[in-house]
């Protein structure tokens, strides 16, 4: 009997992650990097990349040694429900909180640039309904949708990078270390908060039809690093380190300055496609993965509709909590992103440690069972 859980090839999983984590790296992370390190921020990204590769190898080690049902199901079977809950609950909290941050940031951007006169309640309701439908559709349809959405998102990204070349000044990337080494260290921390989200592949691995290989993960983290580095260096070269740090959405500002000749401009509506594609897949996927922890039907890629609707009702209620935009951005900068980096470091290390303990137990049991 075919296990219907394993419905996706690794390439489809990676497309979802590029869209969802790409939005974090491309939109939410860059203004915080510029605030933390200014001109030195791009150097911090480059230094964070090899550090990310070390943890990438640990993520590969975890997925390689997981059973078909996935890491968390294996932990529950070997160590019991208490240990499983202890390491899975922080993941659920992260998924829900990250979905909220993505949603809130998107609403602020839409309200500021495109829908200033529209009802905030109506925008919230429509967006949550769309994300809820995406989650109810299941991971299979999210992956298929990502396959259609991602190519155009990437083409538009390359388009904006090439067409703005004439207004870029590479000399603005230098000199480095003008403020000392501290900004670079801070930039490394913020960069890792985005790169280490690759840990989510551990949650997606049970849906993969074939084993996830190291080269798959290497390409993925390299693309995610490029999604930070490309628009970050472009913003510094186009606006300068000081002015780009003043922008809340420097990647979007690159669309606003785009001009092709004397007659073509105001093409920033293309950014809507990129933003909405990434945000809807990210929120839909994260709520799906969070809800998957509370379902017992491991062989179904679609979740219980009552559970999903219940979570979105809670999500809708949370969006009603009044939070000043300034304090929301302060929360992301001072607490959320640094906490994400610490969370992923801890989660990757403890997951790898549990795998090692399980392997040693298996080796020990194997020796004891050998005929003397």
Residue 361: pLDDT over 90:
no
Residue 49: pLDDT over 70:
yes
Nearest CA among 6, 23, 2 for reference residue 224: 23
Region at 180 (left for phi over 0; alpha for psi -120 to 50; beta for the rest) = left
Supply the mean pLDDT for the chain. Answer: 90
What was the pLDDT predicted at 298? Answer: 56
Which tens digits make up the pLDDT trace of 221-233? Answer: 999 999 999 999 9
DSSP string, 215-250: HHHHHHHHHHHHHHHHHHHHHHHHH-HHHHHH-S-H
What was the pLDDT predicted at 4? Answer: 44
Nearest CA among 56, 40, 273, 329 for reference residue 150: 273
Mean pLDDT of 136-155: 92
What pTM was estimated for this model as a whole? 0.93
Which tens digits make up the pLDDT trace of 287-320? Answer: 999 999 988 765 557 788 999 999 999 999 998 8
Distance CA 338, CA 228 (A): 16
What was the pLDDT predicted at 268? Answer: 86
What was the pLDDT predicted at 262? Answer: 78
């Amino acid at each position: 009997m075919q296990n219907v859980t394993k419905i996706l090839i690794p390439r489809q999983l990676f497309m979802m992650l590029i869209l969802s984590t790409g939005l974090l790296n491309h939109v939410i992370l860059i203004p915080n990097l510029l605030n933390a390190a200014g001109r030195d921020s791009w150097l911090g990204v480059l230094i964070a990349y090899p550090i990310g590769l070390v943890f990438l190898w640990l993520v590969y080690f975890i997925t390689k040694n997981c059973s078909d049902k996935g890491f968390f199901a294996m932990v529950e079977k070997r160590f019991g429900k208490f240990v499983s809950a202890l390491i899975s609950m922080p993941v659920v909290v992260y998924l829900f909180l990250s979905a909220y941050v993505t949603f809130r940031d998107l609403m602020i951007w839409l309200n500021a640039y495109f829908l200033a006169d529209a009802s905030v309640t109506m925008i919230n309701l429509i967006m949550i309904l769309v994300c809820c439908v995406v989650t109810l559709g299941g991971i299979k349809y999210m992956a298929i949708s990502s396959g259609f959405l991602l190519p155009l998102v990437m083409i538009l990204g390359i388009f904006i990078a090439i067409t703005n070349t004439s207004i870029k000044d590479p000399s603005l990337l230098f000199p480095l270390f003008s403020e000392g080494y501290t900004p670079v260290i801070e930039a490394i921390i913020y960069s890792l908060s985005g790169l280490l989200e690759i840990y989510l592949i551990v949650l997606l691995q049970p849906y993969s039809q074939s084993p996830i290989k190291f080269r798959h993960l290497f390409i993925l983290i390299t693309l995610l690093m490029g999604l930070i580095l490309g628009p970050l260096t472009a913003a510094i070269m186009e606006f300068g380190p000081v002015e780009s740090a003043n922008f809340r959405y420097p990647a979007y500002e690159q669309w606003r300055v785009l001009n092709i000749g004397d007659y073509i401009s105001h093409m920033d509506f293309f950014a809507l496609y990129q933003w909405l594609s990434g945000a809807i897949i990210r929120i839909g996927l994260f709520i799906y993965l969070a809800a998957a922890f509370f379902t017992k039907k491991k062989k179904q890629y679609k979740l219980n509709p009552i559970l999903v609707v219940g979570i979105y009702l809670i999500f809708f209620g949370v969006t009603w909590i009044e939070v000043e935009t300034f304090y929301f951005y302060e929360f992301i900068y001072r607490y959320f992103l640094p906490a994400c980096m610490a969370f992923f470091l801890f989660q990757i290390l403890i997951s790898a440690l549990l795998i090692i303990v399980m392997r040693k137990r298996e080796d020990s049991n194997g020796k004891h069972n050998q005929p003397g």
